[in-house]
Amino acid sequence: MSRARPIALFDDAVWQMTLGERAAVQGVLSALKPALAIEIGTAEGACLRWIAAHAGEVHSFDLVEPSIGDLGAHVHVHTGDSHVLLPQMLERFAAEGRNVDFVLVDGDHSPDGVRRDLEALLGSPAIADTVIVAHDVGNERVRTGLDAVAYGAFPKVAHVDLDFVPGQLGQDRFPGELWGGLGLVVVAADRPAYGSGPAVQTARHHGGELLAIARDVLGGRPPDGGSGFHDARARHLSDAYNHIDDLERRIAASDGVLERRIAQLAVEVERQRALAEHHRALVADLMTSASWRVSAPLRVAKRAAAILRRG
């Protein structure tokens, strides 16, 4: 394939990723030059076109058959539930002794759906020397699913950075909602992580949480949520963090080691309590958002399709 003009990467009106996300995906693909790649979530096929430009063979999965034209004989589009089709494909690759070099996870955005896709990948012998990129890690529901994956149960997982590219807080598009962002999972089966410490990156604050706090401060709760809930939530968080400040002042004034340790533990308990309340409120935000209501018919159709397949 001839080299694409640089503007083409950033001037694609179909591709739903931000410019930074596009550049990150392209950078990984350019470095890997994957012989075998998987995409979960085809949509309009914009990202698939770029994966196809770098990969020797691509398999893409989506519930709905996309209209993407001919991308070449090396591109295979599979229509159906990825939770059924993906494990079957991975089993086939494993039986053939093949390794999947690159995976983009951008399909089922429910917490359980994201977790199942990641665990199906990590549980397969065909994912042995692989870069997995997950989209929309800034969204609360997607991040909940990613955080639920027991990465430590897979010694071949070498590195996990769920804020590889941070998400965004919507303003003109999806106002008040958290979307976008890329997570990175690096698999290296020849370097088992036994005894080498956790693979999950914890040096930085969770980007989605910070964006959610910014949304609260700006008063940018998703549409139709009502101000009373937001005000009560803000008061609760303010009270919790004021209490934390008081405890930290006690730590600074304490002379005894035991007293300092007790105060430090009390601070951590209060932080976790405030964080749990924050997460409960984020879920409530999502369930009352306009996008959640608009997408309700799609969820109903998906459930109906699953029932028909089982029948």
Q: Is the Cβ–Cβ distance between 188 and 116 less than 8 Å?
A: no
Find the angle CA(75)-CA(92)-CA(28) to the nearest 5 degrees: 50
Helix (H) or strand (E) holding 218: helix 207-218
According to DSSP, residue 5 is labeled: P
The predicted pLDDT at position 230 comes to 44
Q: Using 50, 70 and 90 to split pLDDT, how confident is the model at 306?
A: low
CA dihedral for 239, 241, 244, 246, sign (positive or negative): negative
Q: Using 50, 70 and 90 to split pLDDT, how confident is the model at 36?
A: very high
Task: Give per-residue pLDDT as tens, 37-60.
Answer: 999 987 776 778 889 999 999 999
Q: What's the pTM value of the predicted model, to 2 decimals?
A: 0.66
Cα 275 from Cα 237, distance rounded (Å): 9
Among 95-99, 136-140, 159-163, 170-174, the least confident range? 170-174
Half-sphere exposure of residue 249: CA atoms within 13 angstroms, side-chain side? 6
DSSP-based helix, strand, coil % in the chain, nearest 5: 50, 15, 35
The predicted pLDDT at position 294 comes to 59
Cα 22 from Cα 11, distance rounded (Å): 11
Q: What are the residues facing 173 on neighbouring strands?
A: none
The predicted pLDDT at position 233 comes to 47
Using the predicted structure, report yes or no on whether residue 88 has a pLDDT greater than 70. yes
Q: Which residue has the higher pLDDT, 2 or 164?
A: 164
Task: Give per-residue pLDDT as tens, 271-300.
Answer: 666 666 656 665 665 555 555 555 666 665
Per the rule left: phi > 0, alpha: psi between -120 and 50, beta: everything else, 197 is left
Using the predicted structure, report yes or no on whether residue 223 has a pLDDT greater than 70. no
